[in-house]
Amino acid sequence: MTIVLDIQDLRLSIDNRSILDGVSLALSAGKITALVGRSGSGKSMTAFATMGLLPRSARVNGDLFFEKRNLALLNDADMSALRGASISMIFQEPMTALNPLQTIENQIAEVFLTHQSLTADDARGKAHDLLERVGMAPSTLSPERYPHELSGGQRQRVIIAMALALKPSIVMADEPTTALDASTQRDILELLKSLCVDDNIALMLITHDLAVVADIADDIAVIQKGRIIEQAPKTDIAKKVSEGAYSELMGARQATPQTTPPRSQRRPVLRVSDLSCAYPKHASGLYFKKERFLAVKDVSLAVEAGECLGIVGESGSGKSTLARALVGLESLAAGEIEIDGASVNVKRKTDMLRLWRQIQIVFQDPYSSFNPRHTVAQIVSEPLHLLGQTLTAAARRERVTDALESVGLKAEHAARSPDAFSGGQRQRIALARALIINPSLIILDEATSALDSAARNRVLSLLSDLRVSRGVSLLFISHDLAVIRGVANRIAVMKSGEIIETGATEEIFSHPRHDYTRKLVAAAEELAAALDNLRSGAL
């Protein structure tokens, strides 16, 4: 067994705060090592230290040996030559890793043009091959699209294609499947596994959910508070799980009963009628017919006071486009939106201010929705201007503190910048920002996908409490049917921009009517079975 990367006693501090405390980890060619830990445990920072992508204030000690070279001693030019060619990374938040001004075709082709002597046409041809390999065939999805025109799952696949382009020796995948539905998640993990074996790649798979990677990992390393507390073959870890260890990393997916106000007390907070959103299709040449792609087609739905409506569907089904359209971030091709029974004219500023006071949104990629120059306090307090009130500095601080503490963060976090937090912590900051003005409806677009099991359950419990105590309604968008089952009263299933089935949550799970819904439910049941196998030690 050839060790490709040998990390020895890695210590990392940022602004005099200890992040990693003596991490030692080995990656072998053709093997998958899962680095598993809770949000903020140091998983991503271990990868960033290896890639040389740490902030300037970082202080690193220890050794990272790759091909007889110590990466910790290399300069920026040497590391730049290695990145992409020999060591690559699949980032957790694809929107921040992609160039918003370049098409996905050009961004993948750039990898080949930077490291190989190819013509532009040859590089684009290789880009098309890669896109097809990760499930985004150019014949069905134009490579000339820009990142903002893709769903979160599609953007993640673009990042995977870029990382695997040059068949590097090491790939670090930082939560590569958190934005993907169960069936696509399984396909991507199987793809990574086959590439690892076929191309003899050493893959470090970073995750907060042990159950997701247990089937494909060869070895599992558990990290806690910046230290590797155990690295062992997956069968040894599975045995310890069956004995009750690492329960906080098991991604508990039990459904919990949900309560709603009596039918007589409910009223529609949001009503959508025949809503459609369209994108122009890309074309070239002097003479072509301008065509439009309907990302959302004639969607009608209603969310009642105190209710949680779950929207599920595979990556690219139109879930996120619908969410953005409801808060005025996507142009409507047709349709009508009503808030508390009053129609909203999306072209009228006063109507939009009224909508934003009633509806807040938590995005799938939280970091891309933050101003990186602002502190957490400035980010969280941003919606307060919608209230039309003049608050004292002390009152603003109190509101910010209450919002942060409600999502499990501390008052001291308010003074820090968003880049000082893990992906899961940034997700909680985004939720605090949505809660600070006590809206009637919160749209959550994959808002718990980056959270570890314990943090996710806390957030779901918080959302349930808010529904009961404040009557807040939720529009919960997710690819994870198990999470939806535990939080939603009703479910709407989306496919190719349309809602193809709606019904009470247990009715959807027990008696799905559409073949597509049955496929989603079956994939969720497969994941639950894998979780049960891990709990019983049957790996």
Query: How far is residue 363's CA from residue 440's CA, in Å, rounded to a whole number?
Result: 17
Q: What is the pLDDT of residue 333?
A: 86
Same domain, yes or no: 178 and 46:
yes
Are 66 and 451 within 8 A, CB to CB?
Answer: no
The pTM for the full model equals 0.74
Q: What range defines the domain where residue 501 resides? A: 268-536
Same domain, yes or no: 346 and 437:
yes
Q: Three-class SS of residue 81?
A: helix
Bridging pattern class, strands 490-495 and 342-344: unpaired
Identify whether 254 is part of a domain: no
Identify whether 249 is part of a domain: no
Give me the sheet containing 202-207, strands edge to edge.
Answer: 87-90, 170-174, 202-207, 32-36, 219-224, 227-233
Query: How far is residue 62's CA from residue 25's CA, in Å, rounded to a whole number?
Result: 12
Q: What is the pLDDT of residue 252?
A: 47
Same domain, yes or no: 376 and 433:
yes
Identify whether 143 is part of a domain: yes
Q: Which residues contact 123 (CB under 8 A, 6 or more apart)?
A: 109, 110, 112, 113, 116
The CA dihedral of 320, 304, 457, 95, to the nearest 10 degrees, is 10
Q: Which of 212, 244, 276 is the last residue in one of the domains?
A: 244
CATH number of the domain enclosing 91: 3.40.50.300
Q: What is the DSSP letter of 83?
A: B
Query: How far is residue 450's CA from residue 429's CA, in Å, rounded to a whole number?
Result: 12
Q: What is the mean pLDDT of each run of 10 residues along the chain (539 residues)?
A: 89 90 92 88 91 88 91 89 89 83 93 89 92 84 86 82 89 82 75 83 88 82 90 82 69 49 65 88 54 85 92 86 90 90 87 91 82 93 88 92 88 90 80 91 84 74 78 87 86 93 93 91 75 63
Q: Which of 244, 260, 277 is the last residue in one of the domains?
A: 244
Identify whether 258 is part of a domain: no
Same domain, yes or no: 335 and 200:
no
Domain count across the chain: 2
DSSP 3-state percent helix, strand, coil across the chain (nearest 5):
40, 25, 35
In three-state form (DSSP H/G/I as H, E/B as E, the rest C), the secondary structure along 243-256 is CCCCHHHCCCCCCC
User: Nearest-CA neighbor of 487 among 457, 526, 530, 451?
Assistant: 457
Same domain, yes or no: 226 and 273:
no
Identify whether 184 is part of a domain: yes
Q: Which helix (H) or strand (E) segment is 23 a member of? A: strand 17-28
Same domain, yes or no: 277 and 180:
no
Identify whether 261 is part of a domain: no
Same domain, yes or no: 218 and 276:
no
Token couple for 283: 């074309």
Identify whether 366 is part of a domain: yes
Same domain, yes or no: 272 and 155:
no
Q: What is the pLDDT of residue 23?
A: 93
Same domain, yes or no: 402 and 515:
yes
Identify whether 287 is part of a domain: yes
* DSSP line for 503-528: EEHHHHHHS--SHHHHHHHHHHHHHH
Same domain, yes or no: 236 and 274:
no
Backbone region of residue 255 per phi and psi (left: phi > 0; alpha: psi in -120 to 50; beta: other values): beta
Same domain, yes or no: 193 and 46:
yes
Same domain, yes or no: 330 and 375:
yes
In three-state form (DSSP H/G/I as H, E/B as E, the rest C), the secondary structure along 255-293 is CCCCCCCCHHHCCEEEEEEEEEEEEECCCCCCCCCCCEE
Query: How far is residue 403's CA from residue 378's CA, in Å, rounded to a whole number?
Result: 13
